[in-house]
């Protein structure tokens, strides 16, 4: 009997150790925008489609996209969705909700300063809801630990954009994130699948640095105003083939437009000989 009790106690202790041994990702984190700075912070000239495995539907959307459309009242304060918001400069806070009886983690909570967005990452093995459940900017997220990597799967995301150059995302987007902590740095990897606008998964990674002294600027007041005097019923757009700015990025960097607008094949090293060939032929 004594051996049985000892064995039970040991098992319970091991289980408890395992549940509490994960690396701590809670705290306040701020963007370290040293990668892809031009795209992620100020934005570049129109027509940057590099690195995105976009399909023809996405190309048609991008061709008709007029960047001034975001001046419309309806779009001014529209939040980025969860598959996009981490790309911009921002700070976010992570904390846990724990079961008071067992102290196991029920969920990670996040508050994202940009657009004041909240999200919950459920850690209690609950299933994702049915397809017909309303979609939100932050979607529905579940997480699980793989060693020291927190992997989060998010569905039920509202449509938005992958890039401000007009590459659209659909409400069938699925986002898989990996949170990997290295000291006071947090690596955040995003793998996005979208059967409507992407031909294969779209990968991004960002770094965040822990804010040891915090930060007071957690609010994001956005009011709908007439930013630029314009007809309130006019929606800026371009008809096919009429967008005068779509090749600006290719021209700025001396790249063939085909290479900038080519989607998945252009994202692989194997494309380099083709690019060289295109460059020679110019």
Q: What residues make contact with another protein under the rule CB under 8 A?
A: 30-31, 33, 40-46, 67-68, 70, 75-78, 88-91, 113, 164-165, 215, 217, 220-223, 225, 227-230, 236, 245, 248
Task: Give the torsion sign (CA, 161, 167, 173, 178).
Answer: negative
Residue where the block lists tokens 């994130």:
177
Closer CB to another protein, 164 or 181, in the complex: 164
Minimum CB distance to another protein, residue 86 (Å): 12
Minimum CB distance to another protein, residue 79 (Å): 10
Which of 261, 112, 97, 83 has its CA nearest to residue 189? 83
CA distance 236 to 117: 28
Minimum CB distance to another protein, residue 213 (Å): 10
Closer CB to another protein, 192 or 246, in the complex: 246
Which of 229, 232, 214, 265 has its CA nearest to residue 49? 265
Question: Coil, strand or helix: which one is 249?
Answer: helix
Which of 68, 22, 63 has its CA nearest to residue 235? 68
Closer CB to another protein, 31 or 50, in the complex: 31
Closer CB to another protein, 103 or 215, in the complex: 215
Minimum CB distance to another protein, residue 218 (Å): 10
């Amino acid at each position: 009997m004594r051996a049985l009790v000892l064995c039970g106690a040991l098992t319970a202790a091991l289980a408890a150790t395992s549940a509490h041994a994960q690396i701590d990702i809670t705290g306040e984190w701020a963007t370290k925008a040293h990668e892809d700075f031009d795209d992620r912070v100020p934005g570049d000239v129109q027509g940057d489609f590099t690195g995105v495995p976009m399909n023809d539907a996405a190309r048609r959307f991008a061709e008709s996209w007029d960047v001034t459309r975001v001046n419309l009242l309806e779009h001014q304060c529209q939040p980025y969705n969860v598959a996009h918001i981490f790309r911009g400069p921002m700070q976010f806070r992570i904390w846990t909700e724990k079961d008071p009886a067992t102290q196991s983690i029920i969920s990670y909570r996040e508050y994202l300063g940009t657009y004041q967005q909240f999200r919950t990452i459920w850690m209690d093995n609950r299933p994702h809801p049915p397809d017909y459940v309303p979609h939100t900017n932050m979607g529905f997220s579940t997480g699980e630990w793989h060693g020291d990597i927190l992997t989060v799967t998010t569905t039920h995301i509202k449509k938005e954009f992958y890039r401000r150059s007009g590459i659209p995302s659909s409400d069938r987007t699925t986002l898989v994130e990996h949170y990997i902590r290295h000291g006071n740095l947090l690596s955040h990897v995003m793998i996005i699948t979208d059967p409507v606008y992407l031909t294969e998964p779209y990968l991004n990674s960002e770094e965040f640095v822990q804010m040891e002294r915090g930060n007071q600027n957690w609010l994001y007041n956005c009011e709908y105003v007439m930013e630029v005097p314009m007809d309130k019923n006019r929606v800026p757009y371009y008809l096919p083939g009429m967008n005068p700015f779509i090749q600006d990025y290719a021209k700025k960097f001396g790249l063939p437009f085909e290479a900038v607008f080519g989607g998945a094949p252009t994202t692989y090293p194997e494309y380099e000989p083709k690019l060289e060939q295109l460059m020679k032929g110019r």
